[in-house]
Amino acid sequence: MRSTAPSRPPRAVIFGVAGTELLAEERAFFSEVEPLGFILFQRNCRDADQIRRLVSDLRETVGRPDAPVLIDQEGGRVQRLKPPHWRAAPPAARFGAVFSVDPDRAIAAARLNGRLIAQELSDLGITVNCAPVLDVPVPGAHDVIGDRAFGTDISPVMALGRAFAEGLRAGGVLPIWKHIPGHGRARVDSHRELPRVDADTASLSDTDFTPFREIAANGHSQLGWAMTAHIVYADVDPDRPATLSPTVIDQVIRGAIDFQGVLVTDDVCMDALTGDFADRAAASLAAGCDIVLHCSGRLEEMQAVARGTRRVSEPTQLRLARAAAALPKPSAFDVAGGEADLERLIAA
């Protein structure tokens, strides 16, 4: 294994991998490029022992046993770990439905669900979850968010998103708030094309930005990461999506919302972005993102992304260290009891 005390910061990028085992060319590439971390998808997940080996091998390539390993485990239709090996976690909207009847019970359920997911992830060595979704869908929006949101009103989104993240953190897993500054008005799927939101900034501030601003105002932005939205907010920057816009990042995300944590891009493979992968990566870092996320596992794309990235900056190092230092040490947790309690809480 390589030295666990690298002499220089890692590269400001997180990469996916092709399959369930590392290929020789992937090992060589990661060892040379030294990405900050990695992300897993369903294609990488066969069973628990296999995932543990893959996670260990990934970290070995960069010589950092604490290298972040990410996954999307929201629940519902977005979960990479699926039955029969893992629990089918409810979608966020299920908790929103309970909230409409009994907010306290819904909050307890969301927190417990986050804790259960954290236990599943930490048992595999996965340390960062790309959740919760803090988007507030509006009528007519594309269903790419849909039941991934905790509700269509601000109150359940804020309360349940915060509770879910608290459960993740209690289990030793960092949350990623997404998709900042808000994906709820998008009328097309940003995986396939670039959404454009024409609402004025005042309206966005009163709705879309509010859950993220509340998280930041209560100190939670220091306790996790946030993922950008590949969306043009025309009243702020008519030409560039948030991921690539210095104006949106400076004035809205770091400014009006006051998010001061780690800012990671949504997947730069998505068709909302165009152009060479090196240019996409370089533009997102130049705009103010801390970390580039590339998920496809295609080596030729990763090579291009690497050319467009740099080493993690000093401000980003401080943000990463602050989030890691604030993560509590998990206490003992009764998984079977937690699953039974969750079923009881969301049964009605």
Of 191, 198, 206, 276, the catalytic one is 191
Q: What end-to-end distance do the CA atoms of the chain give, in Å?
A: 52
Q: Is 333 exposed, middle or buried (0-12, 13-18, 19+ CB in 10 A)?
A: middle
Q: What is the DSSP string of 75-121?
A: ETTEESS-TTTS--PPPHHHHHHHHTT-HHHHHHHHHHHHHHHHHHH
Of 72, 208, 237, 266, the catalytic one is 266
Find where tokens 């260290």 sit. 321
Q: Is 85 a catalytic residue?
A: no
Give the pLDDT confidence of 244-289 residue by residue, as tens digits: 999 999 999 999 999 999 999 999 999 999 999 999 999 999 999 9
Is the link from the previous residue into 181 a cis peptide, with omega within 30 of 0?
Answer: yes
Query: What average pLDDT does the segment 130-136 reach?
Result: 98
Helix (H) / strand (E) element for 28: namely helix 24-33
Give the pLDDT confidence of 64-115 residue by residue, as tens digits: 999 999 999 999 999 999 999 999 999 999 999 999 999 999 999 999 999 9
Q: What's the half-sphere exposure (Cβ side, CA atoms, 13 Å) at 203?
A: 10
Residue 45 within any structural domain of the chain: yes
Neighbours of 44 (CB within 10 A): 22
Residue 82 within any structural domain of the chain: yes
Residue 112 within any structural domain of the chain: yes
Enter the tokens of residue 264. 């990671």
Q: Are 312 and 9 in contact (CB under 8 A)?
A: yes
Residue 4 within any structural domain of the chain: no
Residue 270 within any structural domain of the chain: yes
Q: Domain holding 88: CATH number?
A: 3.20.20.300
Query: What average pLDDT does the segment 181-191 reach?
Result: 96
Question: Residue 224's pLDDT is what?
Answer: 84
pLDDT at 230 exceeding the cut of 70:
yes
Domains in the chain, number: 1
- C-alpha span between 141 and 62 (Å, rounded): 41
Name the residue range of residue 245's domain: 11-346
Give the pLDDT confidence of 14-34 residue by residue, as tens digits: 999 999 999 999 999 999 999
Residue 5 within any structural domain of the chain: no
Residue 1 within any structural domain of the chain: no
Residue 6 within any structural domain of the chain: no
